[in-house]
Every structure is written in structure tokens, then in C-alpha cells.
Amino acid sequence: MGNRNLTALGTIWIKECTRFLRIWIQTLVPPAITMSLYFVIFGSLIGSRIGQMDGFSYMEFIVPGLIMMSVITNSYANVSSSFFSAKFQRNIEELLVAPVPSWIIVLGFVGGGVARAILIGIIVTLVSLFFVDIQIHNFAVIIVTLILTSSLFATAGLINAVYAKTFDDISMVPTFVLTPLTYLGGVFYSLSLLPEFWQMVSKANPIVYMVNGFRYGFLGISDVNYLVSLGLLVGFNLVMFTIAYQLINRGVGIRS
């Protein structure tokens, strides 16, 4: 039983990785170009006028946030588009009738999203080296935050795809939810610059904890306790995985 599940998990994961690697010009190149523009515009041009942020150059300050932003968007987009395509083409039914547990299906799709997010994170990090010397304060925190964040949004993308009825539906959440929360998540500024009331409001944004946890791993500074960030990530992952498992197990949005 164990070997069969591992084989199924590996097969789904390899299929998902092959999918985004086959169209690497569409999946891997655009984030590198987009982040390069952010580095040039916000880091070099605007950053030179802003000066330091929390004791670091503005470029150094925004690098962790930009990496995290690319991880969030790509992990979400990978799974939402992949699962909805499988549902739209009706080949997801082959998995449902196969002797494969629902949690294996969830892990397989999420694993593909995590793989793409990590690869994008590495690419954006390499691009950032052309603009700034990266510091690493705590490598373990960087890796854990990266994996937990990418798995969280990959699972969220799967849930979105389960409920989506058209291709337009899978773009609504990134456009109207993820993008505003990301830009207001402390990627380009420190929460200490905000009035006290807006600092409290900002701390209701979960992406603030992910960005700051990641920034702590690089620079050793954070607007929130990094242990709180990791704890929230673990909790959110458990909740989202449970929801995704229940939806797939019940065939919501899939079985007629």
C-alpha cells in the first residue's frame, strides 16, 4: 500500500513538474523579467532617493519581499491553472476512479506548485545578485518559510480551481485578493513607518507575516516575531490542506 501511494504521488508530482518545465518560457522567464524591472525601478531608481530602511539599503530591504511575492503568485497560479485544466478536460476523473487516496492527489498537485515556486525563488534570487549583495542571517528560517508559504498558496490555488467554473474564475482571486494583500504586506516598506492604527490593521494581513518571516531569514529584522510567522504558516497549512482534502474526497466541483 505504501509503495503504491508513493508511486502515485511521484507520478503526479513528475507530471506537474514536467508541465511547467515544458513551457518554461511562459512559466519561468516572465517572473525573472518582472522582478528585474522591480529591482531597477524600485531598488535602483527610487531606492537611491529613499536611502536606508531599518539600517539596510532600500534594495537590500525589498529583495526578500520581492522573492516572496514571486513565490506566492507562482505557487498559486501553477496549481489553480493545472487542476482546473485537468477538471476542464475531464482527465481528473481518471485520478478519482484510480485506487489513489485523496490526500495523495492533493499532495501531488501541491508538490508541483511548491517545486515551481522554489525554482522561481532561486531564479529571482540569482537575478537580485546583479543588483545587491544578499545577506543570509538564518538559512533554516528562509527554507522553512519558503516551503510553508509556497505549499499554503499552492493549496489555496487548488481550492480555487475546485470551485472555478471558467478560466476567468481562477484569475479573480489573484487579481482582487492576492495582489492587494501582497502590495500591502510590507514588501516595499516597514510597518514602523505607518501610524499605530494602520500598523494594527496591517497585522491582520497574513502576507505581512510571511514577508517578514522571510526578511528575518535574510536580514535578521522583522516587524513581527518570526516564530509567530512560522506558527501561523503551519496553522494555515493544516487548515487549507484539510479543506482541500475534504473537497477532493467529496468530489466537490468534479463529480456530477
Phi/psi at 101 (5° precision):
-60, 150
As a whole number of angstroms, the distance between CA 201 and CA 211 comes to: 16
pLDDT digits (tens, 9 = 90+) for 134-143: 889 999 999 9
Quickly tell me which residue has 476523473 as its cell: 93
Note the pLDDT of residue 256.
Answer: 52
3-state secondary structure of 147: helix
pLDDT means per 10 residues, the chain with 256 residues, are 81 92 90 87 75 83 92 93 86 79 92 95 92 88 95 95 86 86 88 88 92 94 92 96 93 71
Domain ranges of the chain: 2-21+28-44+61-250
Instruction: Check: CB of residue 129 under 8 Å from CB of residue 219.
Output: no
Note the pLDDT of residue 99.
Answer: 82
Note the pLDDT of residue 89.
Answer: 80
Q: Residue 5's CB: how many other CB atoms inside 10 A?
A: 15
Note the pLDDT of residue 255.
Answer: 64
